Chain A
């Protein structure tokens, strides 16, 4: 501005000096003022343009050729509704996505929005990297499922998007060969165990139950439904003590081991292979197995059902996981980011996503009640199982607790020690972590 004043003064001086030529100089002055005015307008315009254009970066995991176009479509709709906002979609893979997110957050270069696995939210929220959205979601909380893993110490840091649970798959041909009707559904643990035992005795090549072996980060997910169904729990509600050495936990582990004796023990992938080959009667698996059966056109007659509880369907429990959307605490456009999350997880977009993904796991209760899901028997099973599915406790040191639980189950599977001793040891180790 000072420079402009000087120039104007110079022009005025010029006018005075020239005398007769003052008319031209006045024109010149007008042009200069006009030019400055236009330049200022242009600069103001540019400033406004800069403020208007917002880019929000979203890191996600859905790179599947059937799913990504749907996500891109959802984003396009949002951009059309919000002309000043552009979304930069970045693909992650499950192999190293977690590490990339952790490194990005710790180096201060995290994305505006990030998709997180349900057991990662506490890990990132307790270190202050996620934005507290408690007040912003208070009014809509009742419309969505599974807020548990989204929070830590009464605050909410993430939005539940796509959930997932496991149900019981059965080979109906093996059921009939074992003397049951094809539509037989075991409701209680004794019914389930007997069916597994009979299927295991058909001939040397078939198995009753497909149980997971010492497979890290998976094994505990197979045991926890039995623990929860037997009204057991991992931690006390105040998270100050471990409850794995209670009689309920002891019984649950004993029952899991008895089931393992009635079948094949292997990795999840190989168990699913054996199920598709018609060699396993019962297997606990997720919606990915439905997709696999469809994709591979597997020649198998199967049914899906709730995982039996000790005393019937009322005590049926399963393991729930899910994808959560969180905003980086460093994000400059939190309102816009939240608007995008709300758009992605709206009932209609969740329905769009789930139908493309051939799954029935929306977090929106409205979407879950859609006839597309309820009319399809297998999807219906998943929707019903989700009603009683549970997630592990939210704790910043969950990775350590998970490892201890898995080691305990492995020890029991490999007859390393008596169950009571194994569970006592596990409890002691977990309590050391809780008291740190």
Chain B
């Protein structure tokens, strides 16, 4: 009787999470998959089963293919830079020096600032006559005449650069936490063995940071695959779809065109891609990466 009561209490204590999970995660997940197999449009009572037609249509939709391509460029182009910059900053700020707390706080500051605010500031910095545009002109980089965000060649790269600047502070903090858990004895042992600074980093720091590195890479990948706010505020996918990303495509299909079946199918494709990439990253860090 006691154990039944105990189990009941356990379920009762778990219930807020279970209910939230079921209502806000599991149900939408299953429901959107069902929707992706229909031609459902918001406000329309005409709904019929279309099987995998939406998925087939998506792969012949040039906009969706473009969105996937841009998203892939965004992910590949931001993650290595963000990770390297974040780790470098963490290494620098792990040493004791005057003003260390100030630098830690300032590098972290972009993370606590609203993405909308940052995107608006950068929109002005990148525009014709904006500080970054003027700076590029001054140092002879020949920036696009109408600003970085109005050129098909530079728009996506500009948003990526902003994203790297913004995200590095957060991941720096995670690396900093990881660095502080590495026992000092390991470095002392390495020094006694005659290891150089690089060797200490290569054979002590990196292996010890493996769990943090996995977390940073996986979370950063997921966030990069889901890039939306920057696009929404700065370019709305333009010019000429050069900044159209997968989530922005889902938003346009779902909430502008109300084509919920099609938008759900696009969201599912992205979900599967993120899932596969995450699994591969886990496998790589478990077996492939012997730092």
Contact status B147-A266, CB under 8 Å: yes
**CA–CA, A123 to B240, complex, Å?**
26
Q: Which residues in A have their C-beta under 8 angstroms from that of B235? A: 214
Distance to closest chain A CB from B255 (angstroms): 5
Distance to closest chain B CB from A251 (angstroms): 23
Known contacts A213-B146, A265-B146, A399-B256, A414 near B240 by CB under 8 Å: yes
Distance to closest chain B CB from A6 (angstroms): 48
Q: Which residues in B have their C-beta under 8 angstroms from that of A123? A: 43, 258
**CA–CA, A411 to B240, complex, Å?**
7
Contact status B256-A213, CB under 8 Å: no
Contact status A106-B43, CB under 8 Å: yes
Decide if the interface of chain B is mainly helix, strand, loop or mixed: loop
B72 interfacial by beta-carbon distance below 8 Å: no
**CA–CA, A196 to B178, complex, Å?**
61
B44 interfacial by beta-carbon distance below 8 Å: yes
Distance to closest chain B CB from A278 (angstroms): 14
B152 interfacial by beta-carbon distance below 8 Å: yes
> Of A124, A216, A266, A270, which is within 8 A of B43 by CB?
A124
> Of A216, A217, A266, which is within 8 A of B150 by CB?
A266
User: Number of residues in A with C-beta < 8 Å to the partner?
Assistant: 27
> Of A128, A214, A265, which is within 8 A of B240 by CB?
A214
B77 interfacial by beta-carbon distance below 8 Å: no
- Bitwise interface map of A from 198 to 223 toward B, beta carbon under 8 Å scored 1, else 0: 00000000000000011111000000
B236 interfacial by beta-carbon distance below 8 Å: yes
Known contacts A102-B42, A399-B256, A266 near B239 by CB under 8 Å: no
- Residues of A255-275 at the interface with B, using a CB-CB cut-off of 8 Å, are 264-266, 270
Q: Closest chain A residue to B234 by CB distance? A: A267
User: Number of residues in B with C-beta < 8 Å to the partner?
Assistant: 21
Contact status A266-B240, CB under 8 Å: no
Q: Closest chain A residue to B130 by CB distance? A: A270
**CA–CA, A214 to B237, complex, Å?**
9
Distance to closest chain B CB from A203 (angstroms): 15
**CA–CA, A332 to B255, complex, Å?**
28
- Residues of B122-152 at the interface with A, using a CB-CB cut-off of 8 Å, are 127-128, 146-147, 150, 152
Q: Closest chain B residue to A270 by CB distance? A: B127
Contact status B43-A214, CB under 8 Å: no
A129 interfacial by beta-carbon distance below 8 Å: yes
11 contacts between A and B (CB under 8 A): A102-B43, A103-B42, A127-B43, A127-B44, A213-B146, A214-B235, A215-B236, A216-B238, A217-B236, A264-B128, A265-B146
Contacts A414-B152, A414-B239 aside, 7 further interface pairs with beta carbons under 8 A come to: A103-B42, A123-B43, A127-B44, A213-B146, A214-B238, A215-B238, A217-B236
Q: Report B's interface with A, CB cutoff 8 A.
A: 42-45, 127-128, 146-147, 150, 152, 235-241, 255-258
